[in-house]
Amino acid sequence: MFEEPFRWMEAISTRHSYVREKLQSGQPVIAVPYQNGALILSFSPQPGKIFEVYDRIAMGGLGHPADVEKLRMTLLDMAHLEGFNRSSQDVNLARLLQFGIAPSLKQNFEEVMRAPYLIKLLLLELDRDGQPNFFRLNYDGYWETLKNGGAIAGDEKAMEWIDKKIEETPFATFPLEKALAQACKFWQEGKQQAAGDEEKKDDDPEAIITLKKVFEKWSLEVAVLCAETQRKSIYRTIDSREIEKLKAAVL
């Protein structure tokens, strides 16, 4: 198999199909800037999609929980060792991705006898000037920067739709409450796009995905990186009182 380039390429192509199929049902995760920082959110049947990585870095993931956990721990280890051995100011996402997990992920993906990672990650940081940076990391190690925020989703159509909407919205000028409400709406609309809810509107209105149904069934996870804090770690999860306020605003 390894002597024949075509067989290797075929195997890689099959792996892409396999991973995409496995990720298909992954719920969208959205990260956008707001007036005083950046936020990341997702709805999911069980909590465990949004995490703190380092003082000014957060991540959201979808895919197999064990794989997300492996990469989360790898990022944590790398960030904390770097922060200890040098300085917390030397820890940033570009370095963690470019020199850290992206090459390893690529290598892992192309070693066809090893199980591929079933993941997509969305990473964000507030740099020392208070500017948010967003990155999307794919299961094969490919990563890209997202200027004004972005999304990951198992369904490519939903992801592209949310990305486009985020690009058109001046999130960086919004206060937190408004940015949160808007991001929730995009989450819902992205899901609807993927599910083809437009067509269902007349035939079966009950089947349409709404935020009301999602709030009832699932939990919302939101975290912010807020520049307006004296604490070293600027990561903060939104508490239940703030979520209730958000619900009142969007439902």
Closest CB to other proteins among 217 and 231?
231
Output the smallest distance, CB 81 to other proteins, in A.
Answer: 6
In a 10 Å sphere around its CB, with 0-12 CB exposed, 13-18 middle and 19+ buried, how is residue 26 labelled?
Answer: buried
Considering the complex, what minimum distance in angstroms separates the CB of residue 104 from other proteins? 5
Nearer to other proteins, 51 or 186 (CB): 51
Taking the complex as a whole, how short is the minimal distance between the CB of residue 220 and other proteins, in angstroms?
17
Q: Which residues of 214-241 are buried (b: 16+ CB within 10 A; e: fewer)?
A: bbeeeebbbbbbbbeeeeeebbbebeee
| Shortest reach from residue 17's CB to other proteins, in Å | 22
CB of 4 to other proteins, least distance (A): 27
Comparing CB distances to other proteins, the nearer of 36 and 74 is 74
Closest CA to 129 of 51, 37, 52: 37
Q: Which stretches of the chain bind other proteins, using CB under 8 A?
A: 51-55, 66, 69-71, 73-74, 76-77, 80-81, 83-85, 101, 104-105, 108, 231, 233
Q: How many residues does the chain have?
A: 251
Which CB, 88 or 148, lies closer to other proteins? 88
Q: How far apart are CA 8 and CA 34, in angstroms?
A: 45
Quote the CA–CA distance of 174 and 164 in Å, as a whole number. Answer: 18
Closer to other proteins by Cβ: residue 123 or 179: 123
37-44 and 132-137 beta bridge pairing: unpaired
